[in-house]
Amino acid sequence: MTKKKKVIKGTKWTTLGAIVTSVVQLLQITILTRFLNKDDFGLMALALFIIGFSRIFVDMGLSNTIIFKQNVHKSQLSSLFWLNVFFGILIYFILIISAPFIGIFYESNELTSVIIVIATTFLVIPWGQQYEALLKKELNFKALAIRDIIGKVTGLITAVILAYLNYGVFSLVIASLTTAVISTFLVILYGIREYKPQFMFSYKSLKDQGFFSFGFYQVGEKLINYFNGNFDTILIGKLLGMEALGLYNIAKSLAIKPFQILNPVLTKVAFPFFASIKGEPVRLKNAYIKVVILLTSANAPVYILSIILSEPIISFAFGAQWIEAAPIFEILCIMILSVSVGNPVGSLQLAKGRADWGFYWNLGLFFLMPATIWLGSSFGLLGIAISLAILRTSTIIYPIWYLFLKPLCDINYTEYFQSFAIPIGISLISGIIPLFLYSFISNLFLATISTAIIYTLIYLMISRKLNLALIHEVKELNIFRKIKGV
């Protein structure tokens, strides 16, 4: 199969996997909000933050190193495999020891128990991480999509059953563990057909070939970026309490769903593809522009419509008792739309071997994020959301282009600005008439359906006039069709 066909096939499977897993996750939250309280979701938000933070150290940036390097010997793969397993065991014991202190910091004994149970994840996931990286390198996104779908569906069933049996927050915890076990088992099942690690380890081989230097910046960037994306969780839990965190987390979980569905469709495929054409500046530039245009054209209308229909969306998804999350949800939609525009930069940096640039960028944000959240906290949850939206939006207007895009692939500012400004502009204009109609239709159900349909029709009509080539590319799922020679 040619590289072009692999990219197209990978895009389709990534699309399917992202849609199904995100729908399953949303369905899980929708069902569990009927059984669990806001405190439970606050506890789980903190527990998942700690787990996500720890997973960075288990991987140590080595998975992307495998993808980046063209030739990796089996002896090196074996060394990397056992290194992952070692770090997983190490992280497990660190979490067990630190759990009581984290519980004391947040004044929650239940949080301690949650962390101790969910830490078991790290005795499982390291065994499948390398196989996942190898599947990505081969653009075998079909296997990964099937793995994700089965894992998430199993987790959903587990969570619903346990919530019904009154397991409280532990229904979420055990569901997370179940997903990890099933997903790891499946990715090993796929990967072991091609490669079986040997019981050997060579530190010198890994060091001489630059695995650790590339991985160091990857860990640093991921670590800081992870904190930047979760400072709100850390600080809201401490400053405003678990109930406020639970409310905020529900709004954030819903707002981020379109991003989680749409962005991985292209960014997962983009990194290995960008890496394969990193020596061809014109093709790389054109490919990057296509990715941004498609991502923004998909994300912007979804988020603008979500802002217009925030109250019925929250009520339908979680029930009327969660309606106070609607204003927070609206602001977070703006923030996440901004994040989605800058998201492909990470794939470009990795493809060009400049993981260090991502590290330094996120290091700068690392100092801005907590200060921004602290200032916003004076005005409650809404103040935090607004302050974060302002910060994130300001970064995509100019800094990302000047610091990264211009030197990495020679994109001029007009090309960059138009790649996201035109789709966002079309999305905003498309919302004028639907917003007016929504305000004047008294029946909520009729108003919601009418607004969504009219908005979609207007957006498609305007896009067809201003961006006909894009419409054709989306239909064919061939994101690089216009790039000569791909």
Is residue 109 domain-shared with residue 252, that is, in the same domain? no
CA angle 324, 298, 439 (to 5 degrees): 40
Residue at which a domain ends, from 188, 209, 230: 209
Is residue 312 domain-shared with residue 370, that is, in the same domain? yes
Mean pLDDT over 441-465 rounds to 90
What pLDDT is stored for residue 483 in this prediction?
40
Q: Please provide residue 72's backbone torsions phi and psi, each rounded to the nearest 5 degrees.
A: -125, 120
Mean pLDDT over 100-105 rounds to 90
* Contacts (Cβ under 8 Å, ≥6 apart) of 74: 195, 198
Q: Would you say residue 45 has pLDDT above 80? A: yes
Residues in the chain: 486
Q: Please provide residue 354's backbone torsions phi and psi, each rounded to the nearest 5 degrees.
A: -115, 55
Structural domain span for residue 427: 241-486
Q: Would you say residue 1 has pLDDT above 90? A: no
Helix (H, G, I), strand (E, B) or coil at 407: helix
107-142: b (≥16 Cβ within 10 Å) or e: ebebbbbbbbbbbbbbebbbbbbbbbbbbbbebbbb
Structure tokens at 338: 């901004």
Higher model confidence: residue 269 or residue 178?
178
Decide if 296 is inside a domain. yes
pTM score, whole prediction:
0.75
Tally of structural domains, the chain: 2
Q: Would you say residue 286 has pLDDT above 60? A: yes
Q: Would you say residue 216 has pLDDT above 70? A: no
What pLDDT is stored for residue 382 in this prediction?
93
Mean pLDDT over 209-232 rounds to 72
What pLDDT is stored for residue 134 in this prediction?
76
Instruction: Report the percent of the chain where pLDDT is more than 90.
Output: 25
Question: Between 444-466 and 310-318, two packed helices, what is the crossing angle to 10 degrees?
Answer: 120
Mean pLDDT over 447-470 rounds to 85
Q: Would you say residue 479 has pLDDT above 60? A: no
Using the 8-state DSSP alphabet, how is residue 119 labeled? G
Helix (H, G, I), strand (E, B) or coil at 245: helix
Range ranked top by mean pLDDT from 122-136, 442-456, 459-473: 442-456
Confidence band (pLDDT; 50, 70, 90) for 480?
very low
What pLDDT is stored for residue 208 in this prediction?
59
Distance CA 449, CA 438 (A): 9
Is residue 196 domain-shared with residue 264, that is, in the same domain? no
Q: How far from each other are the two terminal CA atoms of the chain, in whole angstroms?
A: 13
Decide if 233 is inside a domain. no
Nearest to 116 by CA among 37, 41, 173: 173
Q: Would you say residue 279 has pLDDT above 50? A: yes
Decide if 63 is inside a domain. yes
176-181 — which CB contacts under 8 Å span 24+ positions?
A: 176/48, 176/51, 176/118, 176/121, 177/117, 177/118, 177/120, 177/121, 177/124, 178/154, 179/151, 179/152, 179/154, 179/155, 180/121, 180/124, 180/125, 180/151, 181/124
Least confident piece of the model among 197-201, 311-315, 361-365: 197-201
Max Cα–Cα distance, the chain, nearest Å: 71
Q: Would you say residue 215 has pLDDT above 70? A: no
Residue at which a domain ends, from 209, 231, 263: 209
What pLDDT is stored for residue 384 in this prediction?
94
Decide if 406 is inside a domain. yes
Higher model confidence: residue 180 or residue 202?
180
Q: 380 in the Ramachandran plot: left (φ > 0), alpha (ψ -120 to 50) or beta?
A: left
Q: Would you say residue 179 has pLDDT above 60? A: yes
Is residue 413 domain-shared with residue 472, that is, in the same domain? yes
Is residue 56 domain-shared with residue 107, that is, in the same domain? yes
What pLDDT is stored for residue 53 in this prediction?
80
Distance CA 99, CA 50 (A): 10
Mean pLDDT over 240-266 rounds to 86
Decide if 230 is inside a domain. no
Q: Would you say residue 472 has pLDDT above 60? A: no
One-letter amino acid for residue 166 of the chain: N
Is residue 441 domain-shared with residue 484, that is, in the same domain? yes
Decide if 143 is inside a domain. yes
Is residue 193 domain-shared with residue 261, that is, in the same domain? no
Is residue 200 domain-shared with residue 288, that is, in the same domain? no
Higher model confidence: residue 337 or residue 79?
337
Decide if 226 is inside a domain. no
Decide if 215 is inside a domain. no
Is residue 253 domain-shared with residue 178, that is, in the same domain? no
Is residue 70 domain-shared with residue 203, that is, in the same domain? yes
Is residue 427 domain-shared with residue 329, that is, in the same domain? yes
Range ranked top by mean pLDDT from 28-37, 206-215, 240-249: 240-249
Mean pLDDT of the chain: 83
Is residue 133 domain-shared with residue 282, that is, in the same domain? no
Query: Which residue, chain included where needed, has tokens 């109930």?
Result: 243
Distance CA 314, CA 30 (A): 10
Range ranked top by mean pLDDT from 23-37, 49-63, 323-337, 394-408: 323-337
Q: Would you say residue 351 has pLDDT above 90? A: no
What pLDDT is stored for residue 59 in this prediction?
66
